[in-house]
C-alpha cells in the first residue's frame, strides 16, 4: 500500500492515471463510493505493487536507486525510460517492491457489547482474519464479588469460527463509570477476590473463554498492592486450567507518576505475572480535555520506551484508537465535552463543511477546523492512514508483542489494509 495525500484537483480518475491502478480498486480499499468528492488533505491508500516517487529538486535516478536499493536498470525498465539524464523536477518514478520479510505480531481488539449490541458478533466476523484475540467488554464487578452477566456467547462462538482467542474482561464499572469505591470493597477482601475468581472461572469453563483480562482502573496508590495480590491469585488459578492472564494498564511515562489513574498499576509486577499487558496508549486528547491528538506518536513512544525498562518488551500490546473527537470552541475546562467520532464521520464533516485536513508532524496526527451552521468553530482530531502507519513503524522499531484496538465498530477500513501490508498476524488457536 502507498499512502497518497489528496491535493487540489485530485479525483479517483486522476489517481488511476498517476498510479496505474484502477480507480475501482482505490475506491474499494478506502471504502469510497466511486462518485465521492475527495477532501483536500485526506489520506488514501493506493494498492500498488511498489510505490511512486516524485522527483524533488536535487533528485536523480541514481539517488533514487541507491536510497531504495533498486538497480537503475530495473527503474528504467519499470518506467519505460531510455534517457535517465533528462528527468525534470516533478517527474514520477514507479519503484517496484523489494521483497521484505514482514514481522509477525499478535493483534487484539476490544468489542464493547454496549456499543455494538446485537451486531457485536458481526463486527468480530468482519475483521476476524486480522485478530489474534478479542477482548469482550465487559463483566462488571459487584460489591459482593459477583459479576453482572452479559450476552456474549455468540461473540465467543464467532471468535472460534475465525481462530480468534476470546478473552473475558472484568471491570470495576458501576453506573457507567469506573468506581474506586467498588474496587476498594472487593480488592481489600481476600474472600471477595476469591468469589470473583470462582465466578469468573465458572463462566470461562462454561462459555469457552481462553483468557482473563483484568481492567480495573482509578485504583490509586492505596490499592496497588491489593491489585497485585489479585493478579497473583488469578495467575495461580488460571494456570490450573491453562488459561491466559492479561491486564489493561494506564499509560505511564516515568516511575512515580501521581494520579488516581496511574498509581494503582504496578508495571513491573503486571509485566512479571501476566502473559501480556494492554497498554492504554490513547486518550491524551479526551472528551473533557482541550483539543489535541488522541494518540500522539511522541507520547505513545514515551510510554512504550518507559514500559520496556520495567517489563519484558515481548509482553507489551500497544493500544491504537479507532476514533477521534470533535471539540466545539472555545474550550472551557470543566464545561466543554468533545464528541467521539470515527474516521468516516471525520471525513464526512470535512467534506460537508469544505474543510482542508492538516497534519501535525510532532504527533503524526491529522486535524481540521470548521464552522457549523450556528457559526461555532470546531476542531477535530482523528486517525488516518498516516497516523496508523506511524504507529506500525513504532511497533517494528521497538519490537513489542503487538497492537490492540479500542474499539470495534468504529469503522476505519484503511487500518486493516495497512495492518495486513505491514505484518503477519499470529493465530493462537
pLDDT in tens, 273-316: 999 999 999 999 999 999 999 999 999 999 999 999 999 999 99
| Cα 237 to Cα 211: distance, rounded to the nearest angstrom | 12
pLDDT confidence band for 93 (50 / 70 / 90) = confident
The predicted pLDDT at position 34 comes to 86
d(CA 340, CA 406): 12
Minimum mean pLDDT among 47-61, 88-102, 119-133, 353-367: which range?
88-102
Question: What mean pLDDT do residues 237-254 have?
Answer: 98
Catalytic residues: 217
Is 90 exceeded by the pLDDT of residue 91?
no
Please give the C-alpha separations between residue 392 and each of 102, 255, 287, in angstroms, as whole numbers: 12, 26, 25
68-75 long-range contacts, CB within 8 A, separation 24+ = 68/95, 68/98, 69/98, 70/95, 70/96, 70/98
- The sign of the CA dihedral 406, 409, 412, 416 is positive
Lowest mean pLDDT among 94-98, 261-265, 321-325: 94-98
- Mean of the pLDDT values across residues 416-424? 96
Q: Residues 6 or more apart from 155 whose CB is under 8 A from it?
A: 111, 113, 120, 121, 124, 134, 136, 166
Q: Is pLDDT at 349 greater than 80 in this prediction?
A: yes
* Superfamily of chain region 2-96: LysM domain (3.10.350.10)
Report the top-level CATH class of 104-321+398-425. Answer: alpha beta
pLDDT digits (tens, 9 = 90+) for 363-413: 999 999 999 999 999 999 999 999 999 999 999 999 999 999 999 999 888
E strands, 295-374, where?
A: 316-321, 323-328, 339-342, 358-360, 365-371
Local confidence band at 101 (pLDDT 50, 70, 90 cut-offs): confident
**135 vs 166: CA distance, rounded Å:** 6
Structural domain spans, the chain: 2-96, 104-321+398-425
Whether the per-residue pLDDT at 252 is higher than 70: the answer is yes
Q: Of 210, 215, 289, give the one whose Cα is nearest residue 242.
A: 210
User: Which residues touch 327 (CB under 8 Å, ≥6 apart)?
Assistant: 290, 291, 336, 338, 378, 379, 380
Of 408, 396, 403, 211, nearest in space to 318 by CA? 403
The pLDDT, as a whole number, for residue 78 is: 67
Q: Is the pLDDT of residue 170 over 80?
A: yes
| Residue 49 CA from chain centroid, whole number | 25
**Per-residue confidence (pLDDT) for residue 58, from 0 to 100:** 82
**pLDDT of 111 over the 70 cut:** yes
Do the beta carbons of residue 295 and residue 284 sit within 8 Å? yes
Q: How far does Cα 412 stand from its chain's mean position?
A: 10
Task: Decide if pLDDT at 348 tops 80.
Answer: yes
Containing H/E element for 409? none
Question: pLDDT at position 48, please?
Answer: 83
Q: What is the pLDDT of residues 19-73, one digit of tens each?
A: 889 999 999 999 999 889 999 999 999 998 777 777 888 888 888 888 777 778 7
Q: What is the mean pLDDT of the chain?
A: 94
Q: What is the torsional sign of CA 179, 325, 259, 225?
A: positive
Amino acid at each position: 500500500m502507498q499512502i497518497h495525500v489528496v491535493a487540489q484537483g485530485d479525483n479517483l480518475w486522476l489517481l488511476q492515471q498517476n498510479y496505474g491502478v484502477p480507480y475501482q480498486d482505490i475506491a474499494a480499499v478506502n471504502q469510497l463510493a466511486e462518485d465521492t468528492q475527495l477532501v483536500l488533505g485526506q489520506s488514501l491508500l493506493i494498492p500498488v505493487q511498489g510505490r511512486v516517487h516524485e522527483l524533488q529538486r536535487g533528485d536523480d535516478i541514481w539517488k533514487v536507486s541507491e536510497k531504495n536499493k533498486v538497480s537503475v536498470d530495473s527503474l528504467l525498465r519499470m518506467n519505460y525510460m531510455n534517457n535517465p539524464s533528462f528527468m525534470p523536477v516533478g517527474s514520477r518514478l514507479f519503484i517496484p517492491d523489494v521483497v521484505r520479510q514482514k514481522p509477525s505480531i499478535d493483534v487484539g481488539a476490544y468489542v464493547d457489547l454496549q456499543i455494538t449490541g446485537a451486531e457485536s458478533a458481526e463486527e468480530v466476523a468482519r475483521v476476524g482474519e486480522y485478530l489474534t484475540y478479542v477482548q469482550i467488554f465487559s463483566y462488571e464487578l459487584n460489591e459482593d464479588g459477583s459479576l453482572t452477566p452479559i450476552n456474549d456467547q455468540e461473540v465467543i462462538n464467532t471468535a472460534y469460527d475465525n481462530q480468534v482467542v476470546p478473552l473475558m474482561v472484568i471491570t470495576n464499572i458501576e453506573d457507567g463509570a469506573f468506581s474506586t469505591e467498588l474496587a476498594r470493597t472487593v480488592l481489600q477482601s481476600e474472600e471477595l477476590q476469591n468469589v470473583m475468581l470462582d465466578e469468573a472461572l465458572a463462566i470461562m469453563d462454561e462459555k469457552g473463554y481462553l483468557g482473563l483480562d483484568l481492567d480495573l482502573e482509578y485504583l490509586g496508590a492505596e490499592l496497588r498492592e491489593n491489585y497485585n495480590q489479585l493478579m497473583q491469585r488469578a495467575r495461580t488459578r488460571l494456570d490450573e486450567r491453562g488459561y491466559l492472564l492479561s491486564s489493561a494498564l494506564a499509560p505511564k511515562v516515568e516511575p512515580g507518576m501521581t494520579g488516581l489513574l496511574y498509581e494503582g498499576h504496578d508495571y513491573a509486577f503486571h509485566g512479571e505475572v501476566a502473559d501480556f499487558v494492554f497498554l492504554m496508549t490513547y486518550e491524551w486528547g479526551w472528551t473533557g480535555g482541550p483539543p489535541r491528538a488522541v494518540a500522539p506518536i511522541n507520547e505513545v513512544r514515551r510510554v512504550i520506551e518507559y514500559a520496556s525498562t520495567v517489563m519484558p518488551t515481548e509482553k507489551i500490546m500497544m493500544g491504537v484508537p479507532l476514533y477521534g473527537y470533535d471539540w466545539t470552541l472555545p474550550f472551557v475546562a470543566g464545561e466543554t465535552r468533545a464528541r467521539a467520532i470515527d474516521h468516516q464521520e471525520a471525513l464526512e464533516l470535512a467534506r460537508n463543511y469544505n474543510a482542508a485536513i492538516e497534519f501535525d508532524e510532532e504527533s503524526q496526527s491529522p486535524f481540521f477546523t470548521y464552522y457549523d451552521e450556528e457559526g461555532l468553530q470546531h476542531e477535530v482530531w482523528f486517525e488516518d492512514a498516516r497516523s496508523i502507519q506511524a504507529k506500525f513503524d513504532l511497533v517494528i522499531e521497538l519490537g513489542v508483542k503487538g497492537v490492540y484496538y479500542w474499539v470495534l465498530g468504529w469503522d476505519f477500513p484503511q487500518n486493516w489494509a495497512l495492518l495486513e501490508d505491514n505484518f503477519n498476524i499470529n493465530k493462537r488457536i
